[in-house]
A and B are shown apart, each in its own frame.
Chain A
Amino acid sequence: MDNYASVLQVTDRLNIFGYLGNSLAAALIGTTLALVLALPAAFAIARGGIGRRLLMPAIVNLRAVPLIIFAIPLYMMFQWLGLLDTQIGLGLILTIVNLPLALVILVNAISDLPLELDEAARIDGANTFQILAQVIAPVCRPAIVTSFIFGFITAWNEFLFGLMLTTSKAVPMTVGASFFFAASGGGVQWGLASAVMIVGALPPMLLGLIMYKQISGSMTAGAVKG
């Protein structure tokens, strides 16, 4: 267990708990903000049809665009806004990464709900925003949880923007892991490298193992139509 002990030891140069904390914070920001933005939009798209022809395809197609093409302008913008090397800055980028899948899952989930739910709430005097907050959001909880799990895992695993937009204070686990490879000098420390990879991969793996029923169950439900 010497390699694990070395990995977990905090030094001036290496702090695995800092990297884990940064990944956790950025992933939580990136996932929560994506859901906060996607849920109202998904409601408007599924029920009102507003954004179905332009907004929805534009966002879904973001998955096909390599986000590296935005690297230089985003770096400059973040420098200007003071967001470089911050957890919030990384979280904002992870929001963009998470938006397409969150929107697809939520639009599908809301489309599956009977329209009578909205109509009944409206007859009871609820306005559109109350229907979203008090009827749609609670009923869509499984889809929201699924989006959250997928988003968190995707955000935790992101490497490119972590490498580009952070230097010391907000370095995420995926980037921090690479610091251990030649930590002691004299070539790659393969034992240490393996240990840090296992530690870094554990949180999303545990989340996936614990929540696999939620993921498969909710996605299967989204595909079923009576």
Chain B
Amino acid sequence: MIATKNLDWKLLNTPLVLFLLLFLGFPVIVNLYYSLSEVSFETLRAPELEGVGNYLIVLTDGAFWQASWFSLRFGIVTAVAECAIGLGLAIFLAPLIEKHSAMMAPLMLPLMVAPAMVGLMYRLVLHEFVGPVPFYLYEWFGNSPSFLNATNAFWTLSVVETLQWTPFAFLLFYMAYEAIPDEVRQAAAIDGAGPLQLLFLIEPAVDGADVDYRVFYPLHRWFPGV
């Protein structure tokens, strides 16, 4: 009986495993082989093994480390900002959302738009010559930074990313906050606990490590910098 059930579980997993082996296993193997080979467009189908030379080229290239540093800073800055703003919104908007659940819809809107579209929209809005933001900054203050130049691109990109993905952090924090039972909230309020204490002190006590897995594990994956 146990053996049959084990076979059943394995059969249920099989389609997914086969799909992953085909569409991810093969590319991983090819990638590894190519990374150790001399490959050009002429030799794409017959690469020649050459050792770790490609890795050495990448690791000694300043551009690689510059790009990695940019990504690391970008990941940390946006993840911290998204979590901080998402948590703040979840705590302070929770009572309002409980009364007017339709508020959730506009808050989640940025999540629904393609990042490529959002990027193009901001490119238009912040464009030095035709964008409305630089135009009004010139009108009101007589000057406007060039949002898209090399100096300011990091912060422009960070703000745009934060604006688009904060709703997801908000949703995760909101559901963690809402998972606290009403009786527990009322008891904590009588004891003088604020919303932050409710979220971080009482929630784990109610739900144990499970909440960490269900709520914060996906958060770590979506915001790898956290």
- Tell me the A residues contacting B by CB distance below 8 Å: 36-38, 40-41, 43-45, 47-51, 55, 58-64, 69-70, 72-74, 76-77, 92-93, 95-96, 99-101, 104, 108, 127-129, 132, 153, 156-159, 173-174, 177-178, 181, 190, 193-194, 197, 200-201, 204-205, 207-209, 212-213, 215-216, 219-220, 222-225
Question: Which one of B8, B120, B171, B172 lies within 8 Å of A193 (CB-CB)?
Answer: B120
Complexed CA–CA distance, A36 and B16 (Å) = 9
Known: A40-B12, A157-B116, A190-B130. 7 other contacts (CB 8 A): A38-B16, A50-B9, A50-B12, A76-B45, A77-B26, A158-B114, A208-B109
Complexed CA–CA distance, A151 and B155 (Å) = 30
Known pairs A76-B30, A208-B105, A225-B207; A48 contacts B6 (CB<8 A):
yes
Residues on A with C-beta less than 8 A from B210 are 225
Residues on A with C-beta less than 8 A from B24 are 62, 70, 96
Complexed CA–CA distance, A100 and B172 (Å) = 16
A124 to chain B, nearest CB (A): 16
Question: Which one of A104, A132, A173 lies within 8 Å of B12 (CB-CB)?
Answer: A132
Residues on A with C-beta less than 8 A from B30 are 72-73, 76-77
Q: Which of B135-143, B175-183, B190-198 contacts A (4 or more CB under 8 A)?
A: B175-183
Residues on A with C-beta less than 8 A from B20 are 58-59, 96, 99
- CB atoms of A220 and B6 under 8 A apart: no
Q: Which residue of chain A lies nearest to B131 when distances are taken between CB atoms in the complex?
A: A190
Mark interface residues in B34-48 (1 if CB within 8 Å of A CB, else 0): 100000000011000
B175 to chain A, nearest CB (A): 4
- CB atoms of A95 and B222 under 8 A apart: no
Chain A CB within 8 A of B112 CB: yes
Q: Which residue of chain B lies nearest to A49 when distances are taken between CB atoms in the complex?
A: B9
Mark interface residues in B196-226 (1 if CB within 8 Å of A CB, else 0): 0000000000010011001101100110100
- CB atoms of A220 and B19 under 8 A apart: no
Chain A CB within 8 A of B145 CB: no
Residues on A with C-beta less than 8 A from B174 are 216, 220
- CB atoms of A213 and B16 under 8 A apart: no
- CB atoms of A208 and B27 under 8 A apart: no
Residues on A with C-beta less than 8 A from B26 are 73, 77
Chain A CB within 8 A of B17 CB: yes
- CB atoms of A197 and B13 under 8 A apart: no
- CB atoms of B5 and A40 under 8 A apart: no
Residues on A with C-beta less than 8 A from B105 are 208-209, 212
Chain A CB within 8 A of B58 CB: no
Mark interface residues in B1-31 (1 if CB within 8 Å of A CB, else 0): 0000110111011011101100110111011
Residues on B with C-beta less than 8 A from A190 are 124, 130
- CB atoms of B16 and A63 under 8 A apart: no
- CB atoms of B179 and A92 under 8 A apart: no
Residues on B with C-beta less than 8 A from A50 are 6, 9-10, 12-13
Residues on A with C-beta less than 8 A from B108 are 208, 212, 215-216
Complexed CA–CA distance, A51 and B210 (Å) = 18
- CB atoms of B109 and A205 under 8 A apart: yes
Q: Which residue of chain B lies nearest to A204 when distances are taken between CB atoms in the complex?
A: B112
Residues 71-103 (chain B) with a chain A CB within 8 angstroms: 101
- CB atoms of B221 and A127 under 8 A apart: no
Q: Which residue of chain A lies nearest to B121 when distances are taken between CB atoms in the complex?
A: A197
Question: Which one of B8, B115, B171 lies within 8 Å of A219 (CB-CB)?
Answer: B171
Residues on B with C-beta less than 8 A from A223 are 175-176, 178-179, 207, 211, 214-215
Chain A CB within 8 A of B184 CB: no
Residues on B with C-beta less than 8 A from A45 are 13
Q: Which residue of chain B lies nearest to A45 when distances are taken between CB atoms in the complex?
A: B13
Complexed CA–CA distance, A102 and B28 (Å) = 22
Question: Which one of B31, B104, B214, B218 lies within 8 Å of A73 (CB-CB)?
Answer: B31
